[in-house]
Amino acid sequence: MLDSIPSFSRLVAELAKFPGIGNKTAARLAFHILRSQESEALALADAICDLKKKIRFCSICHHITESDPCPLCTDPARDEQVVCVVEEPQDLISIERSRSFHGRYHVLHGALSPLDGVGPDELHMHDLVERLKEGRINEVILATNFSVEGEATALYLARLIKPLGIRVTRPAHGIPMGSDIEYVDEATVHRAVSGRQEL
Amino acid sequence: MQLEKLTLRNFRNIEATEFRPHPVFNIFYGSNAQGKTNLLESIYLLGSLKNFRSARNDELITHGETAATIIGCTRQNDVGHEIRLDINKEGKQARLDGKVINRPESYLSCLRPVVFAPEVVGLIKGPPAGRRQLVDRAVFQADAGYLENVQTYSRQLKQRNRLLKTGGQVEQVETWSSELARTGARIRYARAAYLERLIPRLLDSYRNICGEKETISLNYRAAGKGITELEQELLDEYGRQLEQELRYQMTLCGPHRDDIEFMVDGRPLRNFGSQGQQRSFILAFKTAQALDLQQLHGEPPLLLLDDLTGELDKRRQERFYQFLLNLKTQVFITATDIRPLHDGGIKEGYFIRVKEGNLHNDKS
Ligand SMILES: [Zn+2]
């Protein structure tokens, strides 16, 4: 049916690529855009282009940023002796929202998962080690998810980092097994990051 | 545990049926291939989310239909629930009181069925996987945390096997070995703890319900060991096997390859037991499991008994019926002939004739 309206089916196809969005929802969103004012539709398109043009990844911590290095890496008020390692930018944002941590970050962009073809080379692991070798950091908090892959990633990193003589810890309590930090409430993240365990 | 109502739609040869079971005895009888066992299978699948005989999803759906549904109204310690399982060719979806479940524990606690089917007896002479499954399913029902450990372990195992297959570096393999050892130790510990608790009951059932004289037991490598000890043991195993594993590109040791030995008078039952002893052993295992669940949850589990008459001689049957009459739990039995049940004292209950997927209730 939609094939006879190419411009509409093109938008539906694009929207259906989003995570958690199937064809039905994509069609609903497309109808919503169709019914909205042209200025609104343009504002959406512009916001998407603007994001793609301006947002980059910080060359130090790999968080998303408009300026490189990012504000988190350049803020002199933040403790540069502690670095918190997370899987995804969303995890960093959750920890920031909980206001439980005032050091620096390092975003891996994933976790070890042979089933998905992700090994150490596919993650920002080597430059984490380079950062640590510079000598200013004396504690690493491994805040990867409490999933099978997140746990293995934490263990792999711990074994990589410990020979450098740096303290390695992992949030210990509060986050239920198998959960993503991104989806856990702020109070729980706060408890987890402040009550960490030595590895 | 009580199943107060069972509704089936397009399940195997049963197109549509609604059935309010008797609180104690429900006997499905009739000729073979009419759908008696399908009824037991639907209850087991609904209650445990597992098949008791291997089946693909499309085999569970009536020929020519696209989906099957099983709905049960359950009552446990006076709390009622509705559990529902929808099956289509792609998969299964379970709902508890209308909501899709994300943690299975509360769903699985609604029925906790224990099944005795002729196929099970074959486990004793078969490969270790069958005996492992028998024990694992019993542990699942008794230990709420076990399922999570098993799921974690199987994911870790898949990751490690893929790594071995793709020639991953040793440091990475060792990371997954440590993860696997941590979870694997918990699995072995839980199995050993369960068996230790079960063995006295097992022996008691074997002698008093099955009327046998020998001493029976279950041997498992992890018996009597602590979690830390088991974790170290597993780490050592993985360490010793690493070279082999890199060559064969798969994980060669761990709880997923363990065996549980069934022993009679100190000798392996698989080599020395008679057919009758083997049947008694399995029946004793199931009754011990039921009694253990009764003690744990304050109520005996639902029992599903598929064609006992073919498996047990008259003497064993009568002792077993006596046990059922005393246990006072809800039981679903299939039989080609109901006379042996009558003779064994089972007179009160629903006797349901099953013919071509339809239920004919002649109340007694
Ligand atoms: Zn940065």
Helix H, strand E, coil C: the string for B117-163 is CHHHHHHHCCCHHHHHHHHHHHHHHHCCCHHHHHHHHHHHHHHHHHH
Q: How far is CA A40 from CA A33, A43, A45, B113, in A?
A: 8, 5, 9, 57
Which residues of B fall within a CB distance of 8 Å from A142?
A: none
Structure tokens, A51: 């994001």
pLDDT tier at B360, thresholds 50, 70, 90: confident
- Cα–Cα distance, B175 to B170 (Å, whole number): 9
Residue A21: CB atoms within 10 A of its CB come to 14
DSSP chain A: -GGG-HHHHHHHHHHTTSTT--HHHHHHHHHHHHHS-HHHHHHHHHHHHHHHHH-EE-TTT--EESSSS-HHHH-TTSEEEEEEEESSHHHHHHHHHHT---EEEEE-SS--BGGGTB-GGGTTTHHHHHHHHTS---EEEE---SSHHHHHHHHHHHHHHGGGT-EEEEE-SSSPTT--GGGS-HHHHHHHHHSEEE-
Q: Which of A152, A159, A177 sits opposite B176 (nearest CB)?
A: A152
Structure tokens, A170: 């992992």
Which residues of A fall within a CB distance of 8 Å from B172?
A: 112, 114, 119-120, 156
Structure tokens, B240: 């010793």
- Cα–Cα distance, B179 to B235 (Å, whole number): 10
State the distance from the centre of ligand 1 to the C-alpha of A106, rounded, in angstroms.
8
- Cα–Cα distance, B104 to A23 (Å, whole number): 29
pLDDT tier at B232, thresholds 50, 70, 90: very high
DSSP B318-353: HHHHHHHHHH---EEEEES-SHHHHHTT--SSEEEE
pLDDT of residue A173 exceeding 70, the answer is no
Q: Which of B152, B158, B171 sits opposite A115 (nearest CB)?
A: B158
Which residues belong to CATH 3.40.50.300 in chain B? Answer: 1-112+301-364
B94-140 tens-digit pLDDT: 999 999 887 788 898 899 899 988 778 888 989 999 999 999 999 99
Residue whose tokens read 């082999």: B244
State the distance from the centre of ligand 1 to the C-alpha of B348, rounded, in angstroms.
75
**Beta-carbon separation of B179 and A120 below 8 A:** no
DSSP secondary-structure letter at B256?
G
A105-124 tens-digit pLDDT: 999 999 999 999 999 999 99
Interface of B with A (CB under 8 A): 148, 152, 155-156, 158-160, 162-163, 166, 168-169, 171-172, 175-176, 178-179
- Cα–Cα distance, A141 to A133 (Å, whole number): 16
Average pLDDT, chain A: 89
| Rounded average pLDDT over B182-203 | 96
| Rounded average pLDDT over B344-352 | 90
Of 3.90.1150.10, 3.40.30.10, 3.10.20.310, 1.20.1050.90, the CATH number of B127-297 is 1.20.1050.90
Residue whose tokens read 């019926």: B321
**Beta-carbon separation of A149 and B158 below 8 A:** no
Range of lowest pLDDT (B66-70, B103-107, B179-183, B252-256): B103-107
The more confidently predicted of residues B364 and B292 is B292
Q: Which fold has domain B1-112+301-364?
A: Rossmann fold (3.40.50)
Looking from the CA of B39 toward its CB, the CA atoms found within 13 Å total 38
Residues 6+ apart with CB under 8 A from B241: B252, B253
Q: Which fold has domain A2-54?
A: Helicase, Ruva Protein; domain 3 (1.10.8)
Q: Which fold has domain A76-198?
A: Dna Topoisomerase Vi A Subunit; Chain: A, domain 2 (3.40.1360)
**Beta-carbon separation of A114 and B179 below 8 A:** no
Q: At B27, which amino acid appears?
A: I
Which residues belong to CATH 1.10.8.420 in chain A? Answer: 2-54
Q: Which of B159, B178, B179 sits opposite A114 (nearest CB)?
A: B159
- Cα–Cα distance, A123 to A112 (Å, whole number): 8
Residue in chain A closest to B151 (alpha carbons) equals A148
Is ipTM > 0.90 here? no
Which residues of B fall within a CB distance of 8 Å from A119?
A: 168-169, 172
Which residues of B fall within a CB distance of 8 Å from A115?
A: 158-159, 162
Total residues found in chain B within this entry? 364
Which residues of A fall within a CB distance of 8 Å from B155?
A: 148
Which of B159, B170, B173, B250 has the most A C-beta neighbours within 10 Å, making it the best mutation to test the interface with A?
B159
- Cα–Cα distance, B238 to B244 (Å, whole number): 10
pLDDT tier at A178, thresholds 50, 70, 90: low
Q: Which of A120, A148, A156 sits opposite B156 (nearest CB)?
A: A148
Which residues belong to CATH 1.20.1050.90 in chain B? Answer: 127-297
pLDDT tier at B362, thresholds 50, 70, 90: low
pTM of this structure: 0.84
Burial degree of B280 (CB within 10 A; 0-12, 13-18, 19+): buried
**Beta-carbon separation of B178 and A112 below 8 A:** no
Which residues belong to CATH 3.40.1360.10 in chain A? Answer: 76-198
pLDDT at A40: 92
